[in-house]
């Protein structure tokens, strides 16, 4: 029995800031970001958008484009690290919005939950849905990944921002890709990237020494949540490389093979915080698992790193990148980081590239190297199915990205600071965040959404 992705849709923020504009404003050489990291555009949510909106748009499109009867959907599992509530999952919002559009109680028997583990949460959701379909082959499951990668102004992560969602239909008769039942994992609890609660004393806010109530807060300390993470870029890169390497070689053990596994993959899809991250992180696996490896982990650290740098600059590795990694990078350059959706947008980008260039890839294998800070990696593989082109005919990924609306730097900063209250682009045929309740005591903070025709 084959299980995998039968259909896939996406919704990406429709406004962007050119990376060159950001670079000039921050006194960064544009080529450092464009040619060094592969960044061209940075997508941003409009004032009427949040992660529920992106997820709902992608899910609505998946249902409509594929004429999915809602009673056939048994699970909607969401991967995200951009939750809007500490208790109520995004998936419960999605259920409500789908019933708002398609009919009351039309999904009342559907199981929903969110998976949170930084950027790998969507892969966790996928694996769980695959397990479910394995036990229930006549049923359908949907994976939604939705995120907004936001970083502090002037930070080293600022130029990697992005926003959007993907929705994938998981069935026992997939038209696009069927996944093998080999999943390798490497996990370690670290602080390479995280979103903690910050604390500030009430005195700093009110200027009063006494602990007087402030906006119904009786505690002397106020907890503040920010969308922006605390992170150590260099350490996070090392964690990415370590977890991915460990998971890759565990994958070889699970498959009981001594061959160079990456050579068996037509394309390699990785988590891409920025477009060229994958090619930078994969050089170690490329070197260590090569048939005639000239590198060994028994060497001194300095010798090892020097040889890695030498290999990563070699013509052989550059050709390897072009052949196996570059197709997944194309969309990332035009969108930015989608966190949980990044690896699946890489798959979409690769398929769109092969579809547009009319390359036949049926029956070839794709390798997936997923990563989530905190930290965890999963390595798995899938086989492209014979109907992938018909399932992909109306995706129009690159055509859609070309229509993105360019904003100026001042508008970008206003959006970032949440000073921009009016929509940059008038919403059409999409969900919007209509309002957030701030009056009714037992509904304070409740978010309400509306479909705009």
| Average pLDDT of the segment spanning 159-187 | 97
Whether residue 85 is found in the same domain as residue 201: no
Question: Average pLDDT in the 251-272 region?
Answer: 97
pLDDT class of 303 with cuts at 50, 70, 90: confident
Triad 298, 369, 131: Cα angle to 5°? 125
Residue 292 has pLDDT above 90, yes or no: no
428 CB-side CA count, 13 A: 4
**Residue 364 scores a pLDDT above 90:** yes
Rounded Cα–Cα distance for residues 349 and 327 (Å)? 6
The answer to whether the bond into 122 is cis (omega within 30° of 0) is no
CA distance 95 to 377: 29
Q: Provide the pLDDT confidence category of residue 282 given band limits of 50, 70 and 90.
A: very high
pLDDT at residue 294 in the model: 67
One domain for residues 347 and 218 = no
Query: 11 with 57: CB under 8 angstroms?
Result: yes
Widest CA span of the chain, in angstroms? Answer: 71
Strands 405-406, 15-18: pairing kind: parallel
Question: What average pLDDT score do residues 221-229 get?
Answer: 92
Average pLDDT over residues 73-82: 98
Q: Are 234 and 213 in contact (CB under 8 A)?
A: no
| Residue 140 predicted with pLDDT over 90 | yes
pLDDT at 186: 98
**289 and 215 belong to one structural domain:** no
| Residue 324: pLDDT band with limits 50, 70, 90 | very high
- Distance, in Å, from the CA atom of 350 to the CA atom of 434, rounded to the nearest integer, reads 35
Closest CA to 167 of 395, 14, 363: 395
pLDDT number for residue 433? 98
How does pLDDT run across 35-76, given as a tens digit for each residue? 999 999 999 999 999 999 999 999 999 999 999 999 999 999
Structural domain containing residue 406: 4-192+232-452
Sign of the C-alpha dihedral, residues 394, 124, 416, 89?
Answer: positive
Q: What is the pLDDT of residues 371-405, one digit of tens each?
A: 999 999 999 999 999 999 999 989 999 999 999 99
Mean pLDDT over 98-124 rounds to: 97
Same domain for 146 and 206, yes or no, is no
Question: How many angstroms separate the CA atoms of 330 and 346, rounded?
Answer: 8
| pLDDT of 216 | 84
Residues 220 and 112 in one domain: no
Q: Are residues 391 and 446 in the same domain?
A: yes
- Predicted local confidence at residue 293, as pLDDT: 72
- Paired residues of 14 in beta bridges: none
Q: What CATH number does residue 119 fall under? A: 3.40.47.10
Structural contact between residues 17 and 41, judged by C-beta atoms closer than 8 angstroms: yes
Does the pTM exceed 0.75? Answer: yes
**With 90 as the cut, is the pLDDT of residue 296 above it?**
no
Distance of alpha carbon 169 from alpha carbon 179, whole angstroms: 13
Question: 217 with 237, same domain?
Answer: no
Mean residue pLDDT of the chain comes to: 96
Task: Give the pair of three-digit tokens for residue 285.
Answer: 């696996």
Residues 162 and 88 in one domain: yes
Please indicate, yes or no, whether residues 207 and 149 belong to a single structural domain of this protein: no
- Measured CA distances, 183 to 67, 238, 252, 338, 377 (Å): 31, 22, 10, 23, 10
Which long-range contacts link 303-310 to residues 24+ away (Cβ below 8 Å)? 308/283, 308/284
Q: What is the DSSP letter of 117?
A: B
Q: Are residues 9 and 96 in the same domain?
A: yes
Read off the pLDDT of residues 241-255 as tens digits, 9 standing for 90 and up. 999 999 999 999 999
Provide the pLDDT for residue 248.
Answer: 98
The answer, yes or no, to whether residue 301 has pLDDT greater than 80, is no
Domain end, chosen from 224, 242, 271, is at 224
The answer, yes or no, to whether residue 297 has pLDDT greater than 80, is no
Q: Mapping DSSP to helix (H, G, I), strand (E, B) and coil, where does residue 53 land?
A: helix
Q: Which of 224, 244, 270 is the last residue of a domain?
A: 224
Distance CA 423, CA 212 (A): 38
Cβ 365 vs Cβ 265: under 8 Å: yes
Residues 289 and 208 in one domain: no
If asked whether residues 367 and 442 sit together in one domain, one would say: yes
Our count of domains for the chain comes to 2
Range of weakest confidence among 25-29, 55-59, 308-312: 308-312
309 pLDDT above the threshold of 80: yes
Under 8 Å between Cβ of 262 and 285: yes
Angle at 416 between CA 373 and CA 215, to 5 degrees: 90
Q: What is the 3-state secondary structure (H, E, C) of 209-263?
A: CCCCCECCECCCEEEECCCCCEECHHHHHHHHHHHHHHHHHHHHHHHCCCCCHHH
């Amino acid at each position: 029995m084959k299980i995998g992705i039968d259909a896939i849709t996406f919704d990406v923020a429709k406004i962007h800031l050119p990376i060159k504009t950001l670079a000039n404003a921050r006194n960064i050489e544009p080529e450092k970001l464009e040619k060094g990291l592969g960044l061209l555009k940075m997508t941003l949510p409009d004032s009427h958008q949040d992660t529920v909106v992106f997820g709902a748009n992608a899910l609505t499109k998946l249902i409509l484009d594929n004429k999915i009867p809602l009673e056939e959907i048994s699970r909607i599992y969401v991967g995200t690290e951009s939750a809007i509530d500490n208790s109520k999952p995004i998936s419960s919002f999605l259920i409500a919005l789908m019933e708002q559009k398609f009919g009351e109680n039309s999904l009342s028997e559907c199981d929903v939950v969110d998976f949170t583990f930084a950027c790998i949460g969507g892969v966790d959701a996928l694996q769980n849905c695959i397990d479910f379909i394995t036990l229930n082959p006549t049923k359908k499951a949907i994976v939604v990944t939705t995120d907004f990668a936001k970083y502090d102004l002037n930070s080293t992560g600022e130029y990697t921002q992005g926003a959007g969602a993907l929705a994938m239909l998981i069935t026992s008769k997939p038209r696009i890709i069927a996944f093998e039942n080999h999943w390798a994992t490497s996990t370690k609890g670290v602080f390479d990237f995280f979103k903690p609660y910050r604390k500030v004393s009430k005195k700093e806010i009110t200027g009063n020494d006494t602990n007087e109530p402030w906006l119904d807060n009786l505690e002397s300390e106020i907890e503040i949540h920010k969308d922006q993470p605390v992170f150590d870029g260099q350490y996070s890169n090392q964690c990415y490389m370590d977890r991915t390497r460990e998971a890759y070689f565990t994958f070889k053990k699970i498959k009981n093979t001594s061959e160079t596994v990456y050579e068996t993959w037509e394309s390699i899809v990785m988590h891409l915080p920025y477009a060229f991250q994958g090619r930078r992180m994969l050089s170690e696996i490329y070197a260590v698992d090569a048939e005639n490896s000239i590198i060994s982990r028994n060497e001194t650290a300095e010798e090892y790193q020097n040889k890695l740098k030498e290999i990563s600059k070699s013509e052989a590795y550059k050709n390897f990148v072009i052949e196996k990694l570059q197709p997944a990078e194309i969309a990332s350059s035009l969108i930015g980081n989608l966190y949980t959706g990044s690896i699946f947008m890489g798959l979409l980008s690769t398929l769109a590239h092969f579809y547009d260039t009319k390359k036949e890839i049926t029956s070839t294998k794709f390798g997936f190297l997923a990563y989530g800070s905190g930290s965890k990696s999963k390595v798995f593989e899938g086989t492209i199915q014979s109907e992938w082109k018909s399932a992909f005919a109306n995706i129009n990924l690159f055509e859609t990205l070309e229509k993105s609306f360019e904003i100026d730097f001042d508008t970008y900063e206003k959006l970032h600071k949440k000073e921009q209250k009016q929509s940059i682009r008038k919403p059409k045929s999409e969900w919007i965040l209509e309002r957030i309740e701030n009056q009714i005591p037992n509904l304070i903070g409740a978010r309400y959404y509306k479909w705009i025709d």
